Structure formats: structure tokens, C-alpha cells
Amino acid sequence: MESIWLKEVSFQKRSSLHKDLKTDVVIIGAGITGILTAYFLKKKGFRTVVLEADRICGGQTKGTTAKITSQHNLIYDRLIRVYGEEKARHYAEMNEWAIREYERIIAEKRIACDFVKCSANLYSCMEEEPLQREAEAARRLGISAQFKTECELPFAVKGVLEFRGQARFHPLKFLKELAEGMEIYEETPVLKVEHCGAGNNFVTAGNASVSAGKVIFACHFPFVNIPGYYFARMYQERSYVIALEHAAKLQECYLGIDQNGYSFRQEGDLLLLGGGSHRTGDNRQGGKYQMLRNEAARLWPGCREEAYWSAQDCMTLDQIPYIGAFDKKAQDWYVATGFGKWGMTSAMVSARILSDLLEGKEVTQAEIFSPQRRICMAAVKELVVNGGVAAGNLAKQLLSPKRTEEGTEEGKSFEVSVKCPHLGCKLSWNPDEHTWECPCHGSRFDSRGRLLDGPAQRGIRKEKN
């Protein structure tokens, strides 16, 4: 179950960290956010060390569909109503800038990464009105947006919202070039981060430590619970993708806004069909890949599946990323998380905001992304719902008479705990991925209990004699 990006790109192996270091900035996570931020900081003259628990781009970046777009589902009409036109414009401007910045860097460094300019489209098979409202809101904020009733999709639609001037690319080809010359340590999981006063931070990674003036959490979901309380302000979702040969060749990108809508995106001769989103830990029945395969067979009889994979996304209470100062009580810590389904532009926006903040610049557009922004009423409701899910799963764990599961693999008997080591929620089995998943905060473990995704920092396997 590898993405098509991994089939074409391999990164040179970097060493693990085996000695103590002192640096200006330490970045936790070598995905697209960590690498882009390190790239910006290096250009500004900061010595930056990047620590990666696995391999470069071994986390969520490898699962993206790599749409570079400011079209983040139905967001702009809501942003104007909730946060006002000025802040909504800042959100739009930063994401539009991100598209242009990708194009600039790719041209400047002559990176061959299959960069293609295209339109991004939202579509509905059921209603026009939400798309029309969103089109009007986007135009008010300076985005080139148009409502249409026809498109190249192989089925009838009620309406389509087109954003012009968007793009798509091969993310790992891009990042392989960008990471050259960076100080990145692989297979170096961070175990502890300590704030010991202004400009004095210690990051423990294995048997080594890094002393740094600033710390940036670019590790998808922050594993530090207090301060910040990000575990209470986010949850995670999984979604699924299949890559198809002999399907339609679409010029533009598409995302359905209807319940169970699909995502369509071309990559060379392959069409990427995505969908099946669910809260991580809430897929006990499975069948997500089969759902995509059934839809593909219906639309394009005779098409062939080349690859299939899944991705995981952090969802914030108000659907806006948290980018900026980690918490008022942790000076010199910064964070970039909660990108939803829009990691490509959000990563670039994070790199700009964080590098400017570390340089001491005032970033007017950063306020809408601030982790300390005020909570709107809709976010308060999400906070209550999210807290209820976590409380319910904690109760299941406490009341469950069965705390372990047993199995065999490669002739070895093993046992796993179904209690998440992060905050103690009861894990759930995902039959599509053959993984144990936490419904509270999204940690994932393979069938043998090895850690796949945080915020948990250790696995759940219990060795048997």
C-alpha cells in the first residue's frame, strides 16, 4: 500500500543523531512543512537542525494527493461571516501567495517535479446555492473564481466552482531537491522538549540532545500535551486513494462537496480517485477501498488499479490551521499543525509565517492562523463534540474487560495492548489498513503494535515468552 510518489523517488539515507548539538533552531519533523521551513530559515541565515523519527517524508507527506490550491472546500463564505472580511482576505492572500511561491521556487531551482498549472473545482450533484455563495465570497477576497454548470467529469453535476491559477505536482521530487544540503537527522525520534528560559531549549532525541534558541513542532500532531492542549483542539481523519490506469484523463482537479463526494486529480497517465473520509478509529466495518474500486468500475469499465494508499489529516475546531507561537507559556516554541486536507499550501504558508516570526518581523496576515486566536461558537460546539468522543472512548477503555489482543506473524506470537499510550483511549481495529487506531487523537499502530503515527510516542506491543 505505497503511494505512487514513493515508487518514483527515494531519498539518500541520512544518519541518526549520535552526539549533542547546539543550533539556532531545531525543527521536529522532516515532512513538507519541516523541509520548507528549514529552507526559508537557512536563506535567512539561521542554523537549523531537522530531526525526523522515521525517514524524510516518511510521514503524512507521502500520502498527499498534492493539489496546490487555495480552494479549501467551502471555507471563504464562512470565514467572512465568522472572522470578518479582513481576516478572510488574509487567509486567501496567504494561500494564493503559496501557489505562486511554489512556482517561483521550482522555476528558480529548475526542479523537475511534474508541476502543472490547472484549475481546482468544487462540484455538487445535488445543489448549486452553496457553490454560488462560495464563488461570490472568493471573488470578494481577490480569488479568480467562477460558478459553472458543466465540467469534464463523466457524470451530471448541478454546479461547479472553479478556482483558476491553481496547480499540482510531484511532492517528493520537489522535496528531494529542496532537502539537499540541509542538516537532517533520520530515525531520530524526539522524546522530550524542555523550555528552560528565553532562548534556552533542550530537545532529547534518543541518547543525544539538541540545545536550541527556538523549537518548531512540524511533526503533524504535537506530542506535547501541556502547554498547548492541542489534543483537545484537534482530531484526525483518514481518507483513501486509488491510482487508476485507463480511466479518464482530466485536465483539472475536482472535489465533491456532497456527502460521500469524491476527489479527482490527474498525475501523468494515472487518475487519482479519493474519498471515504472518516474520523481515525471509526472504520470498524472497513470497505473504503472497495467503495472506490466500485465507483471506478462504474465510471470507467476496464480501468486498472495501479496503487492504493491512505492519508491522515489533523482537523482543527474551526477548520483553520494552527500556525505560530505554540503557547503563551512556552516562549520560543512554534507550531504548524491542523492543515485539514490542504497540506501543500498550508505548509508553504507555515514556512513563511514561522520564518518571519523567528526573524522578528510582524506578520499581519498571521493573526487568522494564530493558535491563540479566539474561538468562534461553531468551534465551541466542535470542542464539546470532540471532548465527548474522547470521554466516551476513555470510558470504554476503563470498562472493557479485555485489554489486550493476541496474534501471530512470521511464526512469532505477540500480544498488543488496546490502550493507547498517549492518553489511554481504547484502540479500534481498521480492517482496510490492518492497523490499530485511536478514535480520540488519531495515533496508529500496525498489527504487531509498532507505532505508525502520533501523538503517541511508543508502540503497544507486549512481547510473549
Same domain flag for 364 and 403: no
Spatial CA neighbour of 113 closest among 176, 57, 165, 181? 176
C-alpha dihedral (284, 288, 289, 291), degrees to nearest 10: 140
Q: Are 219 and 344 found together in one domain?
A: yes
Whether 47 and 178 map to the same domain: the answer is: yes
Q: Are 343 and 360 members of one domain?
A: yes
What's the number of domains the chain is made of?
A: 2
70 lies in some domain: no
What's the pLDDT at 14?
A: 93
Is the residue at 301 inside a domain? no
Whether residues 326 and 225 fall in one domain: yes
Residue 409 lies in a domain: yes
Among 339, 354, 375, residue at a domain's last position: 375
Q: Is residue 258 part of a domain?
A: no
CATH of the domain at 427: 2.102.10.10
Q: What percent of the chain has pLDDT over 70?
A: 91
What pLDDT does 357 receive?
Answer: 96
Residue 93 domain-assigned? no
Cell 469524491 locates to 262
CB 185 within 8 A of CB 50: yes
In a domain, 189, yes or no: yes
**153-169 pLDDT tens trace:** 999 999 999 999 999 99
Last residue of a domain, one of 375, 393, 417: 375
Final residue before a domain boundary, out of 356, 375, 394:
375
Averaged pLDDT for residues 6-12: 88
Owning domain of residue 451: 379-463
Sheet strands (E) in 350-437: 404-409, 412-417, 428-430, 435-437
Helix (H) or strand (E) holding 92: helix 85-109
- What's the sign of the alpha-carbon dihedral 99, 51, 7, 449? negative
Q: What per-residue confidence (pLDDT) applies to 465?
A: 39
Residue 55: pLDDT above 70? Answer: yes
Mean pLDDT value across residues 283-287:
93
User: Do 360 and 396 lie in a common domain?
Assistant: no
Q: What is the chain's percent helix, strand, coil content, to nearest 5? A: 30, 30, 40
Average pLDDT on 393-422 reads 66
Q: H-helix or E-strand containing 102?
A: helix 85-109
Same structural domain, 367 and 326 = yes
pLDDT of residue 311: 94
Residue 80 lies in a domain: no
**Backbone region of residue 197 per phi and psi (left: phi > 0; alpha: psi in -120 to 50; beta: other values):** left
| pLDDT > 90 in the chain, percent | 78
Question: CATH number of the domain that 15 lies in?
Answer: 3.50.50.60
Quick one: 434 and 455 in the same domain? yes
For residue 277, being part of any structural domain is answered with no
Residues 395, 452 within the same domain: yes
pLDDT of residue 409: 56
